[in-house]
Structure 1
Amino acid sequence: MLGGISIWQLLIVLGIIILVFGTKKLRNVGTDLGGAVKGFKKAVHEDEKDADKKDDDQPQAKVRHDEAGNTYDVQAEEKDKQAAENDERK
Protein backbone atom coordinates (compact mmCIF):
# COMPACT_ATOMS: atom_id res chain seq x y z
CA MET A 1 0.00 0.00 0.00
CA LEU A 2 2.16 2.89 1.25
CA GLY A 3 5.65 1.58 0.63
CA GLY A 4 5.02 -1.80 2.27
CA ILE A 5 3.09 -0.45 5.28
CA SER A 6 -0.22 -2.21 5.78
CA ILE A 7 -3.37 -0.78 7.34
CA TRP A 8 -2.79 -2.88 10.47
CA GLN A 9 0.64 -1.37 11.00
CA LEU A 10 -0.82 2.12 10.65
CA LEU A 11 -3.55 1.31 13.19
CA ILE A 12 -0.97 -0.02 15.67
CA VAL A 13 1.13 3.17 15.30
CA LEU A 14 -2.02 5.30 15.73
CA GLY A 15 -2.94 3.34 18.87
CA ILE A 16 0.51 3.87 20.37
CA ILE A 17 0.34 7.60 19.60
CA ILE A 18 -3.08 7.83 21.29
CA LEU A 19 -1.75 5.99 24.36
CA VAL A 20 1.29 8.26 24.62
CA PHE A 21 -0.33 11.64 24.00
CA GLY A 22 -3.99 11.08 24.82
CA THR A 23 -7.01 12.01 22.74
CA LYS A 24 -7.46 15.48 24.27
CA LYS A 25 -3.91 16.52 23.40
CA LEU A 26 -4.26 15.15 19.85
CA ARG A 27 -7.58 16.98 19.43
CA ASN A 28 -5.94 20.26 20.50
CA VAL A 29 -3.04 19.71 18.10
CA GLY A 30 -5.48 18.92 15.28
CA THR A 31 -7.53 22.05 16.04
CA ASP A 32 -4.42 24.24 16.11
CA LEU A 33 -3.12 22.74 12.88
CA GLY A 34 -6.51 23.15 11.17
CA GLY A 35 -6.74 26.79 12.31
CA ALA A 36 -3.25 27.50 11.01
CA VAL A 37 -4.05 25.98 7.59
CA LYS A 38 -7.35 27.90 7.44
CA GLY A 39 -5.59 31.18 8.31
CA PHE A 40 -2.93 30.53 5.70
CA LYS A 41 -5.52 29.85 2.99
CA LYS A 42 -7.43 33.01 3.97
CA ALA A 43 -4.27 35.13 3.81
CA VAL A 44 -3.32 33.75 0.40
CA HIS A 45 -6.85 34.35 -0.92
CA GLU A 46 -6.86 37.95 0.40
CA ASP A 47 -3.46 38.65 -1.18
CA GLU A 48 -4.76 37.40 -4.52
CA LYS A 49 -7.84 39.64 -4.19
CA ASP A 50 -5.70 42.67 -3.30
CA ALA A 51 -3.36 42.04 -6.23
CA ASP A 52 -6.27 41.69 -8.65
CA LYS A 53 -8.00 44.77 -7.25
CA LYS A 54 -4.80 46.83 -7.37
CA ASP A 55 -4.22 45.88 -11.00
CA ASP A 56 -7.81 46.72 -11.97
CA ASP A 57 -8.02 50.08 -10.18
CA GLN A 58 -4.89 51.74 -11.50
CA PRO A 59 -4.15 52.06 -15.19
CA GLN A 60 -0.67 51.42 -16.40
CA ALA A 61 1.61 54.42 -16.60
CA LYS A 62 2.10 55.93 -20.02
CA VAL A 63 5.26 57.71 -21.09
CA ARG A 64 4.90 60.36 -23.74
CA HIS A 65 7.84 61.90 -25.55
CA ASP A 66 5.98 64.33 -27.76
CA GLU A 67 6.15 67.24 -25.29
CA ALA A 68 9.38 69.16 -25.85
CA GLY A 69 10.94 71.70 -23.53
CA ASN A 70 9.45 70.46 -20.26
CA THR A 71 12.73 69.60 -18.59
CA TYR A 72 13.68 71.20 -15.32
CA ASP A 73 17.30 72.00 -14.54
CA VAL A 74 17.74 72.41 -10.80
CA GLN A 75 21.41 73.31 -11.00
CA ALA A 76 20.73 76.10 -13.50
CA GLU A 77 18.00 77.50 -11.26
CA GLU A 78 20.33 77.45 -8.25
CA LYS A 79 23.01 79.25 -10.29
CA ASP A 80 20.44 81.87 -11.33
CA LYS A 81 19.43 82.40 -7.69
CA GLN A 82 23.04 82.75 -6.62
CA ALA A 83 23.71 85.21 -9.43
CA ALA A 84 20.61 87.24 -8.47
CA GLU A 85 21.72 87.31 -4.82
CA ASN A 86 25.21 88.42 -5.85
CA ASP A 87 23.72 91.19 -7.99
CA GLU A 88 21.56 92.37 -5.06
CA ARG A 89 24.59 92.47 -2.76
CA LYS A 90 26.56 94.61 -5.18
Structure 2
Amino acid sequence: MGVGGIGIWQLLIILLIVVMLFGTKKLRNLGSDLGGALKGFKNAVKDDDSAKNDSTDENQPSENTDESSSETVDITAEKVAEKAEEE
Protein backbone atom coordinates (compact mmCIF):
# COMPACT_ATOMS: atom_id res chain seq x y z
CA MET A 1 0.00 0.00 0.00
CA GLY A 2 1.17 3.51 -0.77
CA VAL A 3 0.04 6.92 0.28
CA GLY A 4 -3.45 6.98 1.80
CA GLY A 5 -4.24 3.42 0.81
CA ILE A 6 -3.34 3.99 -2.85
CA GLY A 7 -1.00 1.41 -4.36
CA ILE A 8 1.88 2.00 -6.75
CA TRP A 9 -0.19 0.94 -9.76
CA GLN A 10 -2.93 3.45 -8.97
CA LEU A 11 -0.31 6.21 -8.65
CA LEU A 12 1.20 5.27 -12.01
CA ILE A 13 -2.23 5.33 -13.68
CA ILE A 14 -2.96 8.77 -12.18
CA LEU A 15 0.45 10.03 -13.36
CA LEU A 16 -0.22 8.70 -16.87
CA ILE A 17 -3.62 10.44 -17.00
CA VAL A 18 -2.09 13.75 -15.83
CA VAL A 19 0.64 13.53 -18.49
CA MET A 20 -1.96 12.76 -21.17
CA LEU A 21 -4.19 15.66 -20.10
CA PHE A 22 -1.56 18.37 -19.74
CA GLY A 23 1.28 17.14 -21.92
CA THR A 24 4.94 17.02 -21.06
CA LYS A 25 5.66 20.56 -22.28
CA LYS A 26 3.14 22.18 -19.93
CA LEU A 27 4.31 20.04 -17.03
CA ARG A 28 7.95 20.96 -17.77
CA ASN A 29 7.03 24.67 -17.88
CA LEU A 30 5.11 24.31 -14.63
CA GLY A 31 8.10 22.64 -12.99
CA SER A 32 10.53 25.32 -14.17
CA ASP A 33 8.18 28.10 -13.04
CA LEU A 34 7.83 26.48 -9.64
CA GLY A 35 11.62 26.09 -9.38
CA GLY A 36 12.14 29.75 -10.30
CA ALA A 37 9.62 30.83 -7.69
CA LEU A 38 11.37 28.77 -5.01
CA LYS A 39 14.75 30.20 -6.02
CA GLY A 40 13.37 33.74 -5.79
CA PHE A 41 11.88 33.01 -2.38
CA LYS A 42 15.19 31.64 -1.08
CA ASN A 43 17.04 34.72 -2.36
CA ALA A 44 14.53 37.03 -0.68
CA VAL A 45 14.87 35.20 2.63
CA LYS A 46 18.66 35.28 2.31
CA ASP A 47 18.64 39.04 1.59
CA ASP A 48 16.30 39.64 4.52
CA ASP A 49 18.56 37.70 6.88
CA SER A 50 21.65 39.61 5.74
CA ALA A 51 19.80 42.92 6.18
CA LYS A 52 18.86 41.94 9.74
CA ASN A 53 22.48 41.02 10.49
CA ASP A 54 23.68 44.37 9.13
CA SER A 55 21.18 46.32 11.23
CA THR A 56 22.14 44.48 14.44
CA ASP A 57 25.81 45.23 13.77
CA GLU A 58 25.03 48.94 13.42
CA ASN A 59 23.06 49.03 16.68
CA GLN A 60 25.89 47.62 18.78
CA PRO A 61 28.03 50.29 20.48
CA SER A 62 31.58 50.69 19.28
CA GLU A 63 34.50 49.59 21.42
CA ASN A 64 36.20 53.01 21.30
CA THR A 65 34.17 55.38 23.43
CA ASP A 66 35.28 58.81 24.56
CA GLU A 67 35.79 59.37 28.25
CA SER A 68 33.46 62.35 28.14
CA SER A 69 30.63 60.25 26.79
CA SER A 70 31.16 57.59 29.46
CA GLU A 71 30.82 60.10 32.32
CA THR A 72 27.49 60.18 34.09
CA VAL A 73 26.24 63.39 35.58
CA ASP A 74 23.80 63.47 38.46
CA ILE A 75 21.73 66.54 37.63
CA THR A 76 19.49 66.24 40.66
CA ALA A 77 22.50 66.32 42.99
CA GLU A 78 23.76 69.46 41.24
CA LYS A 79 20.36 71.16 41.58
CA VAL A 80 20.15 70.29 45.27
CA ALA A 81 23.64 71.70 45.80
CA GLU A 82 22.70 74.92 43.96
CA LYS A 83 19.56 75.36 46.09
CA ALA A 84 21.56 74.78 49.26
CA GLU A 85 24.06 77.46 48.20
CA GLU A 86 21.25 79.95 47.48
CA GLU A 87 19.71 79.54 50.92
State the TM-score bracket (shorter-chain normalisation): 0.5 to 0.7
Q: Distance in 1 between matches of 2:59 and 2:35?
A: 37
> Structure 1: any 5+ residue segments left out of the alignment?
70-90
For residues 15-56 of structure 1, give each alpha carbon's deviation from its aligned partner in whole angstroms, at most 9, with x where no partner exists.
000000100010000000110011001100110111011101
Q: Distance in 2 between matches of 1:38 and 1:8?
A: 33
Q: Distance in 2 between matches of 1:68 and 1:10?
A: 79
Q: Distance in 2 between matches of 1:25 and 1:58?
A: 50
Among residues 56, 75, 81, which one is paired with 1:68 in the alignment? 75
> Structure 2: any 5+ residue segments left out of the alignment?
62-71, 77-87
SS in 2 for 1:3: helix
The answer on 1:36 being equivalent to 2:37 is yes
Tell me the residue number matched to 1:26.
27
Q: CA deviation at 1:67?
A: 6.0
Tell me the residue number matched to 1:9.
10
With normalisation by structure 1, the TM-score equals: 0.64
Percent of aligned positions that are identical: 51
Which consecutive segments of 4 or more residues in structure 1 shift more than 3 A? 65-69
The answer on 1:47 being equivalent to 2:48 is yes
Aligned residues: CA RMSD: 2.1
With normalisation by structure 2, the TM-score equals: 0.66
Counting matched residue pairs gives: 66
